[in-house]
Chains A and B, each alone.
Chain A
């Protein structure tokens, strides 16, 4: 199957989008130094996984994947709340959100 034919089928297209999203999230997670942007990139990666889960769930005609997505979204909301609280505390400590500064956690 040539690449063009592959891109014509919706399944392949979805995997392409999901992997691209995951890659962008991972890239941002590794190269960005701002703690807030790092958290956002984490969200991008979670969403890439959600995309594959929803697609598989619809493809196989079961609802299991969608239930997993509901759980993932709940945990992601929780994770963001905790992460932002930690970032706020770190900002109180050092007046910056650059993660390079927090190599050692002593005052």
Chain B
């Protein structure tokens, strides 16, 4: 039962991810992205990592992709402006990407294959937060400063253009 659910949702994630890449319209890409991220969240939930699963939905599907859709609708791109690359280049890219992926898969099975498999543990919220606020306190604080810098940066990028001041004669 659980294996079947697992297989179904991993296929779902992969198919919708392919939808992101192959859709003609940007809105369809965004829609597929939401579904793909949602599928990943369900995979996490099936493993028992419920906290990270909910964070995934809350931040990725609930905030980041909303921003994407917002910008897509703001620009309101009428015609699909996507120009496919020359197909020789496309095929070369595809072959090299999937070659890289094959190597990655081999590396994974080599290096993680011999790891002692512990009984999968539930990562409770309490465990995560204790670690986050003791051992990883400094990275956490640096991240907050980073976010502050980010807010200032985005304000500078997005502020309305100032009118040129009148030159004094």
So, do A and B actually touch in the complex, CB under 8 Å? Answer: yes
A63–B127 touching, CB < 8 Å: yes
A44–B36 touching, CB < 8 Å: yes
Complexed CA–CA distance, A96 and B78 (Å): 11
A81–B136 touching, CB < 8 Å: no
With A17-B13, A23-B98, A73-B60 known as contacts, the answer to whether A97 contacts B75 (CB < 8 A) is yes
A residues 8-49 near B (Cβ < 8 Å) are 10-28, 30-34, 36-37, 39-41, 43-44, 47
Residues of A with C-beta under 8 A to B112: 11, 15, 56, 59
Complexed CA–CA distance, A59 and B119 (Å): 7
Tell me, yes or no, whether B88 is within 8 Å of chain A by CB: no
Q: Chain B: interface secondary structure?
A: helix
A55–B132 touching, CB < 8 Å: no
B100–A60 touching, CB < 8 Å: no
Residues of A with C-beta under 8 A to B77: 97
Q: Smallest Cβ distance from A39 to chain B, in angstroms?
A: 7
Tell me, yes or no, whether B82 is within 8 Å of chain A by CB: yes
A73–B55 touching, CB < 8 Å: yes
Contact with A along B90-110 (1 / 0, CB 8 A): 100110011011001100110
A32–B123 touching, CB < 8 Å: no
With A51-B43, A63-B131, A77-B59 known as contacts, the answer to whether A69 contacts B52 (CB < 8 A) is yes
Tell me, yes or no, whether A4 is within 8 Å of chain B by CB: no
Complexed CA–CA distance, A15 and B59 (Å): 24
Which of A10, A20, A28 meets B6, CB within 8 Å?
A10
Which of A17, A26, A52, A80 meets B14, CB within 8 Å?
A17
Which of A40, A43, A57, A78 meets B123, CB within 8 Å?
A57
A residues 52-103 near B (Cβ < 8 Å) are 52, 54-61, 63-64, 66-67, 69-71, 73-78, 80-82, 84-89, 91, 96-98, 100
Residue pairs across A and B with Cβ atoms less than 8 A apart, 14 shown, are A11-B117, A20-B17, A24-B17, A24-B20, A27-B94, A37-B21, A39-B68, A43-B33, A54-B44, A54-B52, A57-B49, A66-B123, A81-B67, A89-B157
